[in-house]
Chain A
Amino acid sequence: MEDAILEVEDLHVTYHVYGKEPVKALRGLDFEIKPGDILGLVGESGSGKTTLARSIMGLVPAPGRIERGRILFDGEDLTAKSREAMQSIRGRDLTMVVPNPRAELNPLVPVGRQVANVARVHLGLSKAQANRAALEMLQAVKISDPERRFHTYPHELSGGMAQRVVIAMALVCSPKFIISDDATSGLDVTVQAQVLELLNRLVSEKRTAMLYITRDVGVTAHFCDRLAIIYDGQIVETAKTAELIEYPMHPYTLMLMAAFSQNPRLRSMWTKAGSRIASEAGRQGCPFAPRCVRAEPRCYQDSVALRELRPGHLVRCHIPVTR
């Protein structure tokens, strides 16, 4: 059994807003990812996905703070590391692919040079070597005419092209772990498929592990090895992809899948009116209860722990769906 490259243990992240109740963004997150694995993290807006991604990178968005828990990367606890230590890990062993790339790239620097900068800083290459590495990377991400595109500026690129540049920046140092934070949302479906296929290939070539964060269940089905469903800062269900798709057990998972279904009866069965309520720090009970069609009184009162209901399949529910 290989050691996990990333282990998140009981991670609690809270946002302390001045003058308001603290908001718990992550409430006891537990998961692990092995080298070469792709874990798909599915959740809706506000479920804590980006908070998790940034917390792993060591850049918890202000005014958030890690209250409890550990993030073990290659055996070392990232929460205990200094700023300088994190700065050398970020971009080299642990990288992130961000969404909306044209807003994230520096508008005044040619894209090739931005990729080369990452290589220079982390790999200690000379300017010429870094430029060469950047060029190779641009070719690897299938950017057409890479020599010319090396000198273009971000605003001259299309969304898909810019996304590839960002992927190149994430991969140029051959990282051990990549986090993709909603990286393909906003792209055309065909471009999305190309980008995913590209990521898949590059990841399997180098045995990189990946945390693929998304709002779209459908996309993850073909792409990820394991899936984890996150709701309101907690993982509510996790299993191998095939297992989860065939035997979904948590009501929220079923609701997500029903939403894509063609069957109107299925959809009406699983969807209840009402949107997500932001969870207060001290609330008891299952956070999904207000939206759950199967909720019973005890769902509002008692918290649930993750339980292994089938081999390798964990669910956090009082009344999971079993057949």
Chain B
Amino acid sequence: MNIIRYIGKRLLFIVPQLIGIVLVCFILVKAIPGDPATLMLGPMASDESISRLRRELGLEKPLPVQFLIYIENLTRGDMGKSWQTTKPVFDDLLLRLPATLELITFGLLGALLIGIPLGVMSAYRKRGIISKVADYYGLFAGALPDFWLALVLILFFYTILGLAPSPIGRLDLTVIAPAQVTGFLTVDCLIAGNWRAFRSAAAHLVLPVLTLALVNAGPILKMTLSSMDRMLSAHFSVYEELCGLPRLMIVRNAFRNALPSVITIVSVLYGYLLGGAVLVEIVFSWGGAGQYAVQGVLNSDFNPVLGFVLFSSVFSLFVYLAVDLIYLVIDPRIRG
């Protein structure tokens, strides 16, 4: 009963949180200096076309009304147009967000596969070789710029070894993308049974995913290690040793106790990477959402930027909700 009530409360709380996000985005829109109409039409526009556009955009109306118009537009999926792509921002994002999501999801999975085992094994044998390797790796991963690593990987695996495909995006030029179901190319290819496209998509994913995995494994490794250390020196681990439980079991139990901290950092990374993967996206010409937002910033094209802010805030919101629910499952103290 407690659990259902807790979930219900959390889901209910999403509504005010969403309203808050939208409000902040709206304030950001209004905070941009300059007249949006002038910005859109350019310096050569005539006064009457500017004032006509201003009336069209409702810029003469009082702020609360504009806010309601903003919300109304959002519910219709209207986030304005990008003057660079000349397409509605919503459509642009719908195309680009799945690209980024696919990239960062696989990237984080890779980071987990590298970071967690290294962290656990370092805690298991504090003076072993793996511990030393993990130590240096954690240092380097923090210092490594992701775009530099990406370029190095491309140089090595594509230019020199010729193993990886060229970094021109998600698919080979000659391959046609399958129908978009989830937006994840790999999944969509499998659904459509298109093996050639699947192989191409997977091949193109390898290097950027590897880049993200290697860089983000660093913080995951450090968090796992410090959390494991704390759990292994806690009273209950000493007690388990007093009861003569084998070391493997003690480490496994300590890991279960260390999990919440690791999950927290993964959730933070996940929210961050939606925009934070932009440099990798640029290097690999990925056509992702971060890239889109950055181009918007560089070209004073505000609608894409704001659209991206809104989307990524909502995304983070749901990631944190999912994490809270996971905590509920793994930690009985929260339920009690």
User: A residues near B, CB below 8 A?
Assistant: 57, 59, 86-92, 95-96, 98, 100, 103-109, 117-118, 121-122, 153, 155-156, 169
Contacts and interface: CB of A to CB of B under 8 A. Distances in A.
A-B interface, 10 closest residue pairs, ranked by CB to CB distance from nearest: A91-B244, A90-B244, A91-B243, A104-B239, A106-B236, A153-B332, A103-B235, A104-B235, A118-B243, A87-B244
Contact of B336 (A88, A95, A106, A153): A153
A155 B243 CA distance: 20
Given A106-B236, A106-B253, A59 B241 contact: yes
A95 B332 contact: no
A253 B243 CA distance: 33
Contacts of A92: 244
Contacts of A95: 242-243
| Tier of interface size on chain B | 20 to 34
B125 interface: no
Given A153-B333, A153-B336, A90 B243 contact: yes
B249 A121 contact: yes
Contact of B236 (A57, A91, A105, A117): A105
Given A105-B236, A107-B257, A89 B333 contact: no
Interface string B223-243: 000000000000110111111
Query: Which has the most chain A C-beta neighbours within 10 Å: B235, B242, B249?
Result: B242
B126 interface: no
A91 B245 contact: yes
Contacts of B332: 107-108, 153, 155
Interface of B: 235-236, 238-247, 249, 253, 256-257, 330-333, 336
A121 B246 contact: yes
A155 B244 contact: no
Nearest to B331: A108
A194 to B, nearest CB: 22
Given A57-B242, A95-B243, A121-B245, A104 B336 contact: no
Query: Which has the most chain A C-beta neighbours within 10 Å: B235, B249, B331?
Result: B235
Query: Which has the most chain A C-beta neighbours within 10 Å: B241, B243, B330?
Result: B243
A87 B253 CA distance: 17
A122 B244 CA distance: 8
